[in-house]
């Protein structure tokens, strides 16, 4: 089997985005500054490898502040953002907190608040129960934001309160899917207000474009990332829609489908924005044990975005 030649098209950009790098750095710097343990509310980013690594360094992950026994220890809010109530609760508990919300998610939060103040009723395009959506909807009083998940929701949406409408979106959606949803909303509500600048983040857009660029030339496509990572799951969908039907997510419990790969000449690889590069390297090394491999990295755009960590950690 080893002699079988396999060409890998390696999608670039892939992997960590600036928001994820900043969130991980915030946890590491908090441990350096405050000592261990520091608490993190919700997985800092959706990746088991990252979470386990930070646990080993002294982070304890909880879902809610109530679970934290020692309230004198600092707590960090995940990159996905939190409802307004959470920092308020932390203050009531007299807890030190560090907010690792991605600046691009914070931008959507501010957008929602400004639209609300200006008298708009807000539609959020996103996935129910995703922490980012919970955080964005939790910026305003209940009922101020309606969630639309797909084209059917968009087509059936009624402007019950007869208010001015505006829409915002989750930052990690499929660029193409949201395009269709927005088209329906604009047809039904011609005066709907759109964001000044698209809410889907640069990293999501770039990773999806990079996958689109190579998927049609691949017999199989693999996205390294977690099952609860919205942007990773979207990359699999993008690869399928772009011409590689046989696309799949490789997560922490996946076994590599060597039987299928041995029938391929070319495979594509990308990774979600919360997946560290070492997971891509490990995957390629596993393939090297079975096949003769050539790698062609196909980069469509150079990323140079960096987000600073909060001053209190420097």
Q: For residue range 213-254, what is the model confidence (pLDDT) as tens digits?
A: 999 999 999 999 999 999 999 999 999 999 999 999 999 999
133 and 183 part of one domain: yes
Across 252-269, average pLDDT: 97
Residue 314, in any domain of the structure: no
Residue 73, in any domain of the structure: yes
pTM over 0.85: yes
108 and 191 part of one domain: yes
In this prediction, residue 160 carries a pLDDT of 85
pLDDT band, very low/low/confident/very high, at 305 (cuts 50, 70, 90) = very high
Encode pLDDT of 17-63 as tens digits.
999 999 999 999 999 999 999 999 999 999 999 999 999 999 999 99
Measured CA to CA, the distance from residue 171 to residue 195 in angstroms comes to 12
CATH of the domain at 264: 3.40.1010.20
- Calculate the average pLDDT of the chain: 96
Q: Which residues contact 165 (CB under 8 A, 6 or more apart)?
A: 120, 121, 122, 123, 159, 185, 189, 191, 192, 193
Across 110-122, average pLDDT: 97
pLDDT above 60 (res 266):
yes
206 and 291 part of one domain: yes
pLDDT above 70 (res 272):
yes
Encode pLDDT of 128-171 as tens digits.
999 999 999 999 999 999 999 999 999 999 998 889 999 999 99
Secondary-structure breakdown of the chain: helix, strand, coil percentages, each rounded to the nearest 5: 40, 20, 40
- Helix, strand, or coil (residue 124): strand
What is the number of domains present in the chain?
3
63 in catalytic set? no
Measured CA to CA, the distance from residue 221 to residue 260 in angstroms comes to 11
In this prediction, residue 161 carries a pLDDT of 83
| Nearest partner of 27 among 62, 79, 67, judged by Cα | 79
Q: Of the candidates 179, 200, 221, which is a domain's last residue?
A: 200
Q: How many residues does the chain have?
A: 314
60 and 132 part of one domain: no
Measured CA to CA, the distance from residue 177 to residue 179 in angstroms comes to 5
Q: Of the candidates 168, 200, 232, which is a domain's last residue?
A: 200
CATH of the domain at 25: 3.40.50.11270
pLDDT above 70 (res 1):
no
Measured CA to CA, the distance from residue 227 to residue 230 in angstroms comes to 8
Residue 311, in any domain of the structure: no
206 and 284 part of one domain: yes
State the residue range of the domain holding 238: 5-16+202-299
In this prediction, residue 130 carries a pLDDT of 96
- Helix, strand, or coil (residue 294): strand
- Token output for 36: 């261990």
Residue with tokens 């959020």: 124
11 and 53 part of one domain: no
pLDDT band, very low/low/confident/very high, at 2 (cuts 50, 70, 90) = low
Residue 306, in any domain of the structure: no
244 and 258 part of one domain: yes
Measured CA to CA, the distance from residue 52 to residue 69 in angstroms comes to 21
List, in sequence order, every beta strand (DSSP E) within 74-213: 75-77, 97-99, 120-125, 145-148, 164-169
65 and 48 part of one domain: yes
Options 28, 43, 111, 132, the catalytic residue: 132
Q: Of the candidates 99, 131, 165, which is a domain's last residue?
A: 99
- Token output for 22: 């900043």
Residue with tokens 């150079």: 302
In this prediction, residue 162 carries a pLDDT of 86
Across 164-191, average pLDDT: 96
212 and 259 part of one domain: yes
Residue 305, in any domain of the structure: no
């Amino acid at each position: 089997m080893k002699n079988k030649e396999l060409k890998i098209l390696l999608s670039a950009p892939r992997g960590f985005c600036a928001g994820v790098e900043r969130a991980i750095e915030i946890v590491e710097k908090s441990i350096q500054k405050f000592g261990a343990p520091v608490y993190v509310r919700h997985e800092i980013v959706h990746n088991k490898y990252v979470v386990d690594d930070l646990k080993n360094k002294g982070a304890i992950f909880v879902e809610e502040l109530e679970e934290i026994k020692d309230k004198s220890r600092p707590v960090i809010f995940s990159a996905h953002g939190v409802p307004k109530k959470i920092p308020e609760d932390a203050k009531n508990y007299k807890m030190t907190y560090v907010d690792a919300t991605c600046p691009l998610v914070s931008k959507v939060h501010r957008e929602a608040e400004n639209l609300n103040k200006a008298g708009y009723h807000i539609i959020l395009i996103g996935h129910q129960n995703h922490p980012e959506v919970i955080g964005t909807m939790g910026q305003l009083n209940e009922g101020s934001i309606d969630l639309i998940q797909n084209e059917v929701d968009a087509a059936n949406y009624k402007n019950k309160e007869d208010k001015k409408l505006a829409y915002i979106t989750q930052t990690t959606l499929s660029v193409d899917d949201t395009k269709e949803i927005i088209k329906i909303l604009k047809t039904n509500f011609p005066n709907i207000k759109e964001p000044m600048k698209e809410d889907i983040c640069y990293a999501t857009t770039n990773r999806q474009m990079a996958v689109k660029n190579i998927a049609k030339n691949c017999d199989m496509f693999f996205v390294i990332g977690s099952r609860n990572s919205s942007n990773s799951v979207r990359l699999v969908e993008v690869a399928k829609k772009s011409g590689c039907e046989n696309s799949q997510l490789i997560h922490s419990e996946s076994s590599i489908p060597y039987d299928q790969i041995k029938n391929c000449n070319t495979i594509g690889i990308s990774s979600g924005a919360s997946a560290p590069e070492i997971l891509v390297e490990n995957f390629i090394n596993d393939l090297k044990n079975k096949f003769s491999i050539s790698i062609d990295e196909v980069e469509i755009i150079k990323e140079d975005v960096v987000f600073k960590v909060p001053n209190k950690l420097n």
